[in-house]
C-alpha cells in the first residue's frame, strides 16, 4: 500500500544491533513498573536461521526478567526441530499465520513465484504440535479474514490444527484505499462474516479462544479488554527495526509511506528507550489510539469498539480524523453479540 521503508533496511538484524536492543530493553524494563511483551515479527523472523535466532533470543532473555514474554509471529514454513528446541530453551512461544484451508490460504499467501504455501505451513504446525514442549510453544494461530470464504469451513479447519487460540484480523485498508473485499464504507462484509463465526463459537462446547469475541463480550458486560483495536485501550507499542531505529506501530505504514516514522530519528544505538516513551512525539502518537472524529466521540458503542485500529481511520482528505473504515462492520458485530447475550440471558 505504498510503503517503501523496507527497501532501506538491512534484511537481517546484526549482532551489534541485537546487543544494542538488549541493552535498550533492559534499561526500559528497569525504568518502568509493568512488564512488557517482545514480539519478533516481519517479514519473516525465522529467516534469521537457527544459529542467529539462538544468539538473538539469548541476548533478549539475558536482558529481560522472566515476567517479560517473548514470542514469534511466523508464517510457519521454516519451523524446524532445532528452532523449536531453541525457542523452548529461551522460553519463546510461536504463533503461526494461516488463513484457513488451502483453497483460502493459497489465494493470497503465495511464494515469490506464485506457488502455494499452505502445505509447508501445515507441516510447520505439525512439527510445532508434536514438540515435547508444545503446550508452551504453540500459542495460537493468526488468520486474516477472507469475506468470500465460509466462516464455518475456516473455523473448523483452524480448530482442527489444535490451535489453543485464534486471532482473526480484518484486512489492511482505509477510506482512500478500501480493504480488499469491502465494497464501501457502508457495507458489512467483514461484520457479517464475523457474526456467523460468532454463532459457531458460542455453539461449540470446546472452542479455542478467540480474543476478539472474548474482549467484545467482556467490554459489553462492563469489564476491560486486552486486545488492541477494541475498547478504550492505551497500548504503548514501539517497533525496533533491523537497523536499530525506533518507529511507531508498523500497521500505520498502510496509510501512507512514512506514517510509522517519528520526526526524531531515534535509534537504540544512540538513545535510551525511556527518552522515546517520555517524548512529546510519543505522547502524540500514543494519543492516536483514541479516535478524534465527532461520529466516534458521540457514538454509544465507543467504549466497546474504541474507534477501531488507527490505520483503518485514515483518509487522504482528513488524515486519521475519521471513524474506522470498518465502523459499520463493528456496529453490526456488536449488535449481534448483544442480541446473543440477551438470548443467553447474560448481563452485567
Confidence tier at 13 by pLDDT (50, 70, 90): very high
| CATH number of the CATH domain containing 332 | 3.20.20.70
Number of Cβ within a 10 Å radius of residue 339: 11
Question: Per-residue pLDDT for 1 more than 70?
Answer: no
Confidence tier at 235 by pLDDT (50, 70, 90): confident
Closest CA to 142 of 154, 127, 128, 129: 154
Q: How many structural domains comprise the chain?
A: 1
Grid coordinates belonging to 106: 493459497
d(CA 44, CA 346): 42
Angle between helices 81-89 and 50-63 (to 10 degrees): 10
Domain region containing 272: 5-342
pTM of the predicted structure, to 2 decimals: 0.94
Residue 348 lies inside a defined structural domain of this protein? no
Question: Per-residue pLDDT for 90 more than 80?
Answer: yes
Residue 118 lies inside a defined structural domain of this protein? yes
pLDDT tens-place string over residues 301-344? 999 999 999 999 999 999 999 999 999 999 999 999 999 999 99
In the sheet with 38-40, reading across from the earlier edge strand, the strands are 38-40, 70-74, 92-97, 138-144, 165-169, 209-210
Residue 347 lies inside a defined structural domain of this protein? no
pLDDT tens-place string over residues 326-337? 999 999 999 999
Residue 279 lies inside a defined structural domain of this protein? yes
Q: What is the mean pLDDT of the chain?
A: 95
Question: Per-residue pLDDT for 46 more than 80?
Answer: yes
pLDDT at res. 8: 82
Question: Per-residue pLDDT for 4 more than 80?
Answer: no
DSSP assignment of 211-246: HHHHHHHHHHTT----STTSSS------EE-TTSBE
User: How much is the average pLDDT of 86-94?
Assistant: 98
Closest CA to 130 of 197, 80, 71: 80
Amino acid at each position: 500500500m505504498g510503503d517503501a521503508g523496507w527497501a532501506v533496511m538491512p534484511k537481517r538484524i546484526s549482532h551489534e544491533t541485537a546487543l544494542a536492543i538488549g541493552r535498550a530493553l533492559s534499561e526500559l524494563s528497569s525504568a518502568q513498573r509493568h512488564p512488557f511483551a517482545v514480539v519478533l515479527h516481519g517479514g519473516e523472523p525465522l529467516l534469521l536461521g537457527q544459529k542467529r535466532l539462538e544468539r538473538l533470543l539469548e541476548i533478549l532473555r539475558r536482558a529481560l526478567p522472566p515476567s517479560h514474554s517473548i514470542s514469534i509471529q511466523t508464517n510457519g514454513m521454516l519451523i524446524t526441530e532445532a528452532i523449536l528446541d531453541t525457542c523452548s530453551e529461551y522460553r519463546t512461544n510461536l504463533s503461526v499465520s494461516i488463513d484457513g484451508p488451502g483453497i483460502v490460504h493459497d489465494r493470497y499467501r503465495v511464494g515469490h513465484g506464485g506457488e502455494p504455501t499452505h502445505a509447508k505451513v501445515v507441516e510447520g504446525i505439525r512439527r510445532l504440535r508434536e514438540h515435547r514442549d508444545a503446550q508452551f510453544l504453540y500459542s495460537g494461530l493468526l488468520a486474516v479474514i477472507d469475506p468470500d470464504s465460509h466462516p464455518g469451513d475456516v473455523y473448523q479447519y483452524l480448530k482442527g490444527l489444535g490451535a489453543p487460540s485464534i486471532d482473526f484480523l480484518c484486512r489492511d485498508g482505509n477510506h482512500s484505499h478500501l480493504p480488499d473485499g469491502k465494497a464501501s464504507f457502508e457495507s458489512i462484509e467483514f461484520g457479517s462474516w464475523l457474526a456467523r463465526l460468532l454463532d459457531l463459537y458460542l455453539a461449540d462446547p470446546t472452542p479455542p479462544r478467540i480474543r476478539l469475541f472474548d474482549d467484545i463480550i467482556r467490554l459489553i458486560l462492563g469489564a476491560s479488554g486486552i486486545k488492541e483495536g477494541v475498547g478504550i485501550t492505551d497500548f504503548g507499542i514501539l517497533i525496533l527495526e533491523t537497523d536499530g531505529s525506533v518507529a511507531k506501530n508498523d500497521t500505520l505504514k498502510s496509510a501512507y509511506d512514512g506514517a510509522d516514522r517519528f520526526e526524531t530519528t531515534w535509534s537504540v544505538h544512540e538513545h535510551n528507550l525511556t527518552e522515546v516513551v517520555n517524548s512529546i512525539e510519543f505522547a502524540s502518537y500514543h494519543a492516536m489510539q483514541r479516535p478524534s472524529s465527532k461520529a466516534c466521540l458521540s457514538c454509544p458503542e465507543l467504549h466497546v469498539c474504541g474507534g477501531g485500529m488507527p490505520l483503518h481511520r485514515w483518509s487522504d482528505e482528513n488524515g486519521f480524523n475519521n471513524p474506522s473504515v470498518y465502523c459499520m462492520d463493528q456496529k453490526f458485530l456488536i449488535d449481534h453479540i448483544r442480541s446473543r447475550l440477551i438470548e443467553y440471558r447474560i448481563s452485567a
